[in-house]
Amino acid sequence: MAAAFALILEDYRADFPAQLQHMPRAIHILLSACMKESRAVDVFNPDLIALPQGSNFIGGRRVIGRGQAIPVRRPSDGRVYADLDSVDDAQLGEAVEDAQRAYKSSGWAQTDPRGRMRVLRRWADLIEADMETLAPLEALGSTRMIHEIRAWDVSYTAETVRFFAEWADKIGGEVAATTPDKLGLTIHEPYGVVAAIAPWNLPLVMAAWKIAPAIAAGNSIVLKPSEMTPFSIVRLAELAIEAGLPAGIFNIVQGDGRSVGDPLVRRPEVAKVTFTGSTATGAAIMTACAQTGPKPVTLELGGKSPQIIFADAGLDKASAIVARAITLNAGQVCVAGSRLLVQEGVADQVIDCIMTAFAAHKAGPTWASDSTLGPIISEGQLDRIDGIVQRAVADGAQVLTGGSRATAPQDGSFFLPTLLQNAAQHSEAVQGEIFGPVLTVQTFTDEMEAYALANDSAYGLAAGVHTSDLTRALRATRTLEAGTVWVNRYGRSNDFILPTGGFKQSGIGKDLGREAYVANLKTKVALIEF
């Protein structure tokens, strides 16, 4: 019986997270318990994953960095599993110069658009076919669980490449309205060398958001992954060469932000910068681009996203969505729904549902089939999360569930799903991005109070609204100060046409959608007189 229930849950997870958010809570808990009973096995042995020499990718091949070695730990068990060979200053310069040379001489930007499209389609096919290499490599040192990577991350990465491939011949110039004796044209051209800095929380997916539109538009790119999750991205670059991408169009440099990230965005050859990460780092990058350019930037930064549950919502479904939105990737998602605003009168019922959902999670390593709560990326981040929670408690907040580190089979970095009540509106727990599985809960009496609480934040990345009133839902989408508003759901779908990006301190510009492709093109004007 348990094995049968486990198979059913796998079918739901294959379309994650859409199916799980609609599953009745009792069935979800039962199936999760069966998973724990029947599938407590390792999907792969982390000690047997081979890491080829050379963590950088320059000129179409792996290159061993000459910079300072950086120890890389597995957050699931705390073990140092590799020493990252970062680039030195000279190699960083070689990577950027190689990207500029490839942009000018490889013919990639001048290739007919459908030719670029065909290369990118082959690349996407190779990514999907490489599942058994990419998935364990991604799970090995990240916070992403192997079953989630297989069900979503790899295929989503491939689909991102396919989506932007299709834009290669869809954006042209325009003929302007001029006097009859003149011909005015607007012409779109690639920038040249694009510098990208990708985060650690979804390494493959976030890198694809940066790489795919830039390359599809005809640019070359130099990418710096996070030094905490550096390896799976290099495999992507190898597959790109196999697909036919010219050498030098996609280069990867490894290292930390101070020694590699900052000098990368300051290089004079870099014409545009795209970054996903913290608001503080985004501000530093924007400053560097102003000082050395100016050059355009796309920044997807921090979030402190509210989820509003009105009394007329389907409460079981809404509660499951809220719980999932803060425990996905252990809360280490920029759009994590970290503030619950629930209408008085239904708060107790919603809180009970969420606490039950939190209790059903099992912390465990990313390679274990029965893990449902992944690790925190580092001990430093774990200490930071714990500190925020403890300071909130000292300031009068109550921990309804969780509130401490979680135990797991290995000596990894785990934090229990946590529900905080009565945290002060001005407190760090309510206002700051925690980037962990910590949900604050506040109540409201009417609609306008809900929106006022939701908008009382320096961030504006995303928001969720749960209601059966269509008119109210439409008002919410107009009133909430967020780049994305989800109604009766929370989280992105596979609708790549919908751009993503935030307001206020959550960033500038958009990833995904037509907007991301156009952001990698500059506009030239031609005026021809007859």
Q: Where are the alpha helices (DSSP H) in 311-346?
A: 315-327
CA gap 501, 341 in Å, rounded = 22
| Residue 300 annotated as catalytic | yes
CA gap 65, 97 in Å, rounded = 16
Q: List all residues 6 or more positions away from 343 whose beta carbon is below 8 Å from its beta carbon.
A: 309, 310, 311, 443, 444, 445, 450
The three-state secondary structure class of 355 is helix
Q: Give the 3-state secondary structure of 360-381.
A: CCCECCCCECCCCECCCCCHHH
Q: Where is 5: in which H helix or E strand? A: helix 2-13
User: Could you tell me how many residues make up the chain?
Assistant: 530
Which entry of 138, 148, 238, 300 is annotated as an active-site residue? 300
Residue type, 92: L
Angle at 27 between CA 23 and CA 29, to 5 degrees: 105
Q: Give the 3-state secondary structure of 202-225.
A: CHHHHHHHHHHHHHHCCCEEEEEC
φ and ψ at residue 2, rounded to 5 degrees: -60, -40
Per the listing, tokens 């640019």 go with: 219
Tell me which residue of 218, 374, 194, 365 sits closest to 289, measured CA to CA.
194
Tell me which residue of 411, 476, 525, 375 sits closest to 79, measured CA to CA.
411
- How many Cα atoms within 13 Å fall on the side-chain side of residue 26? 0
Tokens in use for 415? 């934090």
Beta bridge partners of 187: 524
The three-state secondary structure class of 271 is strand
Strands of the sheet with 270-276, listed across from one edge: 61-63, 56-58, 250-252, 220-224, 193-197, 270-276, 297-300, 507-508
Tell me which residue of 482, 521, 461 sits closest to 164, measured CA to CA.
521
φ and ψ at residue 49, rounded to 5 degrees: -80, 115
Q: Are 493 and 156 in contact (CB under 8 A)?
A: no
Angle at 483 between CA 437 and CA 165, to 5 degrees: 100
Q: Looking at the annotation, which residues are catalytic?
A: 300
